[in-house]
Amino acid sequence: MKANRSGERVRWWTYALLVLAAFACLFPLYWMFVVATTDTATATKLPPEIVPGGNFFHLASLVFTTVPFVRSVINSLVVAGTIGVGQAVLCSLAGFAFAKLRFRGRDALFLVVVLTMTVPTQLAIVPQYMIISWFDWVDTLQALIIPGLANAFGIFWMRQHLSSALSDEILQAARIDGATTWQIFWRIAFPLVRPAAFVLGLLGFVTAWNDFLWPFVVLKSPEMYTAQIAIKALQNSFDIDLGLAMSGSFLATLPLLVLFVFVGRRMVAGIMDGAFKG
Amino acid sequence: MTTSTSPLRAALPPPSITTTGRHGLADRLAPYAYITPFFAIFAVFGLLPLLFTFYVALFDWNPIGEHVYVGFGNFAHLFDDGRFWNAVRNTISIWVLSTVPQLLGALLLAHLLNHVRLRFAVFFRMTMLVPYITSVAATAIVFSQMFDRDYGLLNWLLGLVGAGPINFTQSVWGSQTMIAVMVIWRWFGYTTLLYLASLQAIPRAIYEAASVDGAGGWRQFLHISVPALRPVIVFTIVTSTIGGLQIFTEPLLVGRATPLTCGPVRQCQTLTLFLFEQAFGQFKFGYGAAIGVALFLLIIALAGLNYLLSTRIRAEKS
């Protein structure tokens, strides 16, 4: 057992580098918390305080009174939650159709789905905004939700999972027993790929929660803000009170950190599972 | 991507079962119903706006005023606009500064993580995904503080070793480095996991054989790991090109007092931010759309170039 990647002892510098990387990943969040707990006088003191102060609740309450923060977190939950669940269901359905059903134009349509992944749609933001205003959706949450439901990568991903998870014998047996396509999907296919759909929904949730440009363009009134736009509004007072923007950032990141503690392992596995295996 | 060919050819139930029986018509239409939501949404909010961008770019288009056809006037104006070329330069340099170290670092970390005897492997992997779940807005705010001229952590540390404070936000390279650091921080863990997944798919017997033949760790990495990773490396290069050239939030939040230009002399204004400034700050929709078209061409050109370069390397080495 001499091979490097299989049996050999892990060298100390491997751990040193990995610990350094882990520190780099976690420190900015820790620092966010530190500044979020100190008043401006302390935050602008040199040398900087590197342990949390006792001002967290004071600043947090300021966050809630400066912007409608509770409302913005609820908005974010509604938007990101709907997008997460919606993507999980819609991508599973489309992935099922592409993986297991036979219909005219299937392969060509699937190629179109794959190609849309490479289209940089963000630069079309001017007409996107115009379309949203024709729908009279400016300053509404559906302007964020509906466009966010389409996910080409998700379809590709669910198709891969369904191709390997659902055997054709089972499919055929169900057909002979008289099951409709919908029943096959809902009773047989979806339960088999529920873990993959769950991770996909999580990734959709996180992306929607953190989205900035589109909500920034579409949302106008503070009651409609998502958490990210609320942070931006707090940052306008950055020079006045450093801790305020940090406190808002921390509070807007906290829900995802809590979520990550419970599902982070599955997210890691999901990302690695969906990756290239060639 | 080798697995993607077989599912497409996956065996299907005989058509007689599909089309006959009690549920004939409904079952025949079902596949289309299942894929329609995606195509409908993409058509309305993705494809249509993209095509419409090319149309709006030909107009002097005021959102609340009138639209005057100007032909290629917007593009001629763009070509002479120093602010545009400044944004092109900034976009490309921020993209290079953020992509190259990120991919190289991810490669190294994935190599380190791919060790069967590594302890706390789950902890290391999970930690590396924490930046990915942190929002760009929060990232920009906390890094701005760390890079602050007067009270920032970094300048304090520099002060300890006797170096003078650096005014990151005011200088071109300083503000761009700062943005690149934010991008790297947020994405390197995700990229590392993609690389690690590919590394784990390499049979260990290959490494063992190489080891028996006397190849050391570094040569194993160069001659076994890197070639096997090529498809995923090409993928990450192309996706980071498409994403990296559209950077917007970091420069907006770094700019603070002058957010739409990322500083008084546009030192870190990217193309997407320039587009936003013209379209939504000055209400020149036509000019904004023209910037969008230019950005589109730039992305296509650079993504295509990168694809060709990275696949050529593959062809030469193998």
**Residue pLDDT, tens place only, B183-225:** 999 999 999 999 999 999 898 888 889 888 888 878 888 888 8
**CA-based nearest distance B222→chain A, Å:** 13
Interface touch A126/B285, C-beta < 8 Å:
yes
- Which of A74-78, B138-142, B255-259 is the least confident region? B255-259
Domain presence at residue B308: yes
Domain match, B222 and B263 both: yes
CA-wise closest residue to B265 among B121, B82, B112, B130: B82
Q: Decide if A163 contacts A177 (C-beta within 8 A).
A: no
> Taking CB atoms and an 8 Å cutoff, what residues of chain B touch A94?
34-35, 37-38
Please state, rounded to an integer, the average pLDDT across all residues of chain A.
Answer: 88
Q: Which of residues 58 through 87 in chain B touch A, CB cutoff 8 A? A: 63
Confidence of residue B12 (pLDDT cuts 50, 70, 90): very low
Distances (CA, A) of A265 to B66, B94, B128, B129: 54, 32, 11, 10
Domain presence at residue B61: no
Q: Is the pLDDT of residue B11 over 60?
A: no
Confidence of residue A240 (pLDDT cuts 50, 70, 90): low
Q: For A199-227, what is the mean pLDDT?
A: 95
Nearest-Cα residue of chain B relative to residue A29:
B142
Domain match, B48 and B130 both: no
Please state, rounded to an integer, the average pLDDT across all residues of chain B.
Answer: 87
A48 cis-preceded (ω within 30 degrees of 0): no
Burial (0-12, 13-18, 19+ Cβ within 10 Å), A260: buried
Q: Which of A25, A131, A256 has the most B C-beta neighbours within 10 Å, making it the best mutation to test the interface with B?
A: A25
User: Phi and psi (nearest 5°) for A150?
Assistant: -80, 125
Residue reference for tokens 């959102």: B63
Domain ranges of chain A: 1-66+236-254, 69-227
> Taking CB atoms and an 8 Å cutoff, what residues of chain A touch B128?
21-22, 25
Helix (H/G/I), strand (E/B), else coil: A2? coil
* Residue A52: predicted pLDDT: 79
Distances (CA, A) of B110 to A122, A194, B198: 30, 28, 9
> Taking CB atoms and an 8 Å cutoff, what residues of chain B touch A16?
none
In tens, the pLDDT along A195-210 reads 999 999 999 999 999 9
Domain match, B49 and B87 both: no
**% of chain A surpassing 90 pLDDT:** 63
Domain presence at residue B72: no
When divided into structural domains, chain B yields a total of 2
Domain match, B7 and B113 both: no
Domain match, B29 and B135 both: no
Domain match, B42 and B103 both: no
Domain presence at residue B162: yes
> Taking CB atoms and an 8 Å cutoff, what residues of chain B touch A241?
none
Alpha carbons within 13 angstroms on the beta-carbon side of residue B225 total 24
User: Phi and psi (nearest 5°) for B68?
Assistant: -115, 130
> Taking CB atoms and an 8 Å cutoff, what residues of chain A touch B125?
268
Domain match, B30 and B159 both: no
**Among A102, A146, A249, beta carbon nearest to B12:** A102
Domain match, B106 and B159 both: yes
What residues does B60 pair with on adjacent strands?
Answer: B68
CA-wise closest residue to A276 among B120, B64, B201, B141: B201
Angle at A148 between CA A66 and CA B188, to 5 degrees: 80
Domain presence at residue B43: yes
Burial track B149-158 (b if 16+ CB lie within 10 A, e otherwise): eebbbbbbee
> Taking CB atoms and an 8 Å cutoff, what residues of chain B touch A181?
23, 26-27, 30-31
- Give the integer Cα–Cα distance in Å for A229 and A145: 16
Q: Which of residues 126 through 145 in chain A touch B, CB cutoff 8 A? A: 126-131
Domain presence at residue B66: no
Q: Does A209 touch chain B (CB under 8 A)?
A: yes
Two tokens at A251? 């509070």
Domain that holds residue B13: 2-56
Interface touch A231/B141, C-beta < 8 Å:
yes
Two tokens at A10? 């892990």
- Rg (Cα) of chain A, in Å, rounded? 23
**Among A124, A182, A277, beta carbon nearest to B197:** A277
Domain match, B9 and B111 both: no
CATH number of the domain to which B210 belongs: 1.10.3720.10
Q: Which CATH number fits domain A69-227: 1.10.490.10, 1.10.3720.10, 3.40.50.300, 3.20.20.70?
A: 1.10.3720.10
User: Phi and psi (nearest 5°) for B163?
Assistant: -85, 145
What ranges in chain B are assigned the alpha helix state H? 5-8, 15-19, 24-42, 48-56, 73-80, 82-113, 121-133, 136-146, 153-160, 172-200, 204-212, 217-220, 226-244, 249-254, 271-276, 285-317
Domain presence at residue B218: yes
Q: For A8-31, what is the mean pLDDT?
A: 91
Domain presence at residue B9: yes
Q: State which amino acid sits at residue A81.
A: G
Domain match, B173 and B272 both: yes
Interface touch A125/B198, C-beta < 8 Å:
no
How many CB atoms are located within 10 Å of the residue A186 CB?
15
> Taking CB atoms and an 8 Å cutoff, what residues of chain A touch B38?
90-91, 94, 113, 150-152, 155
User: Phi and psi (nearest 5°) for B12?
Assistant: -125, 160
- Give the integer Cα–Cα distance in Å for B314 and B318: 6
